[in-house]
Chains A and B, each alone.
Chain A
Amino acid sequence: MSGWQAERVLEAAVREAGDRIRAALAIRFRDLDMAEEAFAFASLRAVETWTRDGPPRDPAAWLYSVGRRRAFDMGRRAKVRSEAVHDAPEPTPDPETIVMAAFEPIPDERLRLIFVCCHPAIAPEARIALTLRTLCGLSVERIARAWLTTEVAMLQRLTRAKRKIRESRIRFEIPEPDAWGERLGAVLATLEIAYAQAYEDAAGASDAADLAAETLRLSGLLAELLPQEPEVLGLAALIRFTEARRPARLDSAGAMIPLSEQDVGLWDPRLIGQAAELMRRAAALGRSGPYQLLAAIHATHAARIETGTTDWASVVALYDILLRVRPSAVAAVNRAVAVAEAQTAEAGLAALAAVDSRERLAGWLPYQAARAGLLARAGRAAEATEALRRALTLEPAPAERLFLAKRLGELGA
């Protein structure tokens, strides 16, 4: 077998089972660095060995087995942290065991690893980076690019998080029932932040799309691992609804197109179908929550594919419930925009003014952008111009900047 062929087999195995192997190594040895290094070693050794001897019958099991042996050797040699609890003592390896081990199934520890990486004792901005690195195997450089930071800074953030997990001895277990709500909440919030980051700059081409794809995959994985948690299904649905609109979000000049003006023909019906199915399953569990409500709002928008119109009154009603369950300025501003659609622009502006008087939002981009839109609709061009100028000073992402500038042009300013 050529080296090139061996690499192809390796790539396929990593794509298929990389998450599972990395998670199994990390959980077994209670050490994220060691697991990373062991997996890298196994991958390197795979290309050499498979080029020489041909690929094994089960490449994933081979990688896990070699990685596990490597981690075990590293641990024995280092003899550090000898107190660390391992799942089970490793049997003395001989060639026979190595061959046999190749047929041992790889335990599915992905959920345990997600809970470790998204532990509430870890800084929120480090959680997703850690998950993408240790579970998904993304390179530090790729994660750094998605977060618009340097590789050095990202590496430091990851190193610190891993050190904390090791030195403060964060538990490598599925959380107990009394901690379940807080821990699951931290995992969901981590995914939500990651997706918001990916969504932020629609024009940010491949980096954001990469991250969005990884978050989409992670949310699906979580839904598969926790099928009885309606909010997990709700978040997975929410991300799918939003991601379905990606092809319709920018015009040919790269300017953002607001949801209500998007060409529904460009929305991805496959993702919308998956989202609807996830929502149906979540609803069947009979416990509502903020992610399911957000998903329901997006489902109402998605219905425009079928009906050609948006049921804005329903959108307003859903935001009303959401604001009771999980109040936020974002939801309040979005509700005001929906009020404008369901009733009049002036009604929307009144709702927006009510939010501002409570939260002091003048220096906040989503508020000024929404206000500009409603003022323009109300025919108050001078004030709309003023709000657009203000919004443009609040550092919008490139696609939104283009959109706001275009609107400014339309107002003849």
Chain B
Amino acid sequence: MQYLLLIYADEKLWARETGTDPSALQAITAAHMRLGAELSEAGALVGGNRLQPTDTATTIRNVGGAQSLHDGPYAETREQLAGYYLVEAPDLDAAIAWGKKIPGGPNYSIEVRPLHVL
């Protein structure tokens, strides 16, 4: 079964911290590379990426058959979707174990969502 591990963090805080301390960004990037290698090794990696900040987002709204474009993310939230991993895991507990290994700054959250099975 596949699980999407969504990484949420305060992107403004993140930009500030990595702006003042580039080594922090390097350390976390290296940690992501290690996790990616570990996931591949275990045959659990389906995909994963870091996303550009939400100020690059465009939202397409569909209302009553009409479409309109909106400059910005779907929802304004305190923490934003910053990246994801898509993993193959036998059960939720295994997916959570991977989610706990995802590196980041001091404060961030990982949402673990099972993919719908047809």
A residues at B contact (CB < 8 Å):
83, 121, 167-171, 175, 179
Contact of B117 among A83, A121, A175 (CB under 8 A): A83
> 24 interchain pairs (CB within 8 A)?
A83-B1, A83-B117, A121-B92, A121-B96, A167-B114, A168-B92, A168-B112, A168-B114, A169-B1, A169-B90, A169-B91, A169-B92, A169-B114, A170-B91, A170-B92, A170-B93, A171-B90, A171-B91, A171-B92, A171-B93, A171-B94, A175-B93, A179-B93, A179-B97
- For B82-105 the 0/1 string (1 means CB < 8 A from A) is 000000001111101100000000
Interface of B, helix, strand, loop or mixed by DSSP: mixed
Question: Is the contact region of chain A dominated by helix, strand, or loop, or is it mixed?
Answer: loop
Q: Which residues of A contact B90 (CB under 8 A)?
A: 169, 171
- The tally of residues in B whose CB lies under 8 Å from a CB in A reads 11
B99 CB, min distance to chain A CBs, angstroms:
11
Cβ contacts under 8 Å, B1 to chain A:
83, 169
User: Cβ of A179: which chain B residues have Cβ within 8 Å of it?
Assistant: 93, 97
Give the docked Cα–Cα distance between A359 and B110 (Å).
30
A266 and B87 alpha carbons, distance in the complex (Å) = 59
Residues of B within 8 A of A168 (CB): 92, 112, 114
Chain B 1-19 per-residue mask, 1 if CB under 8 angstroms from chain A, else 0:
1000000000000000000
Within 8 A of A (CB), among B27-66: none
A43 to B13, CA, bound (A): 59
Minimum CB–CB distance for B98 against chain A, Å: 13
Please give, as numbers and ranges, the residues of chain B lying within 8 Å of A121 by CB-CB distance: 92, 96
Find the residue from A167, A168, A171 having the highest chain B CB count within 10 A: A168
Q: Which residue of B lies closest to A178 (CB)?
A: B97
B93 contacts across to A, CB distance below 8 A: 170-171, 175, 179
Across the interface, which residues of A come within 8 angstroms of B112, CB to CB? 168
A169, B112: Cα distance in complex, Å? 12
Q: Which residues of B contact A170 (CB under 8 A)?
A: 91-93
Contacts of B117 in A (CB 8 A): 83
Known: A121-B92, A169-B92, A170-B93. 14 other contacts (CB 8 A): A83-B1, A83-B117, A121-B96, A168-B92, A168-B112, A168-B114, A169-B90, A169-B91, A170-B91, A171-B92, A171-B93, A171-B94, A175-B93, A179-B97
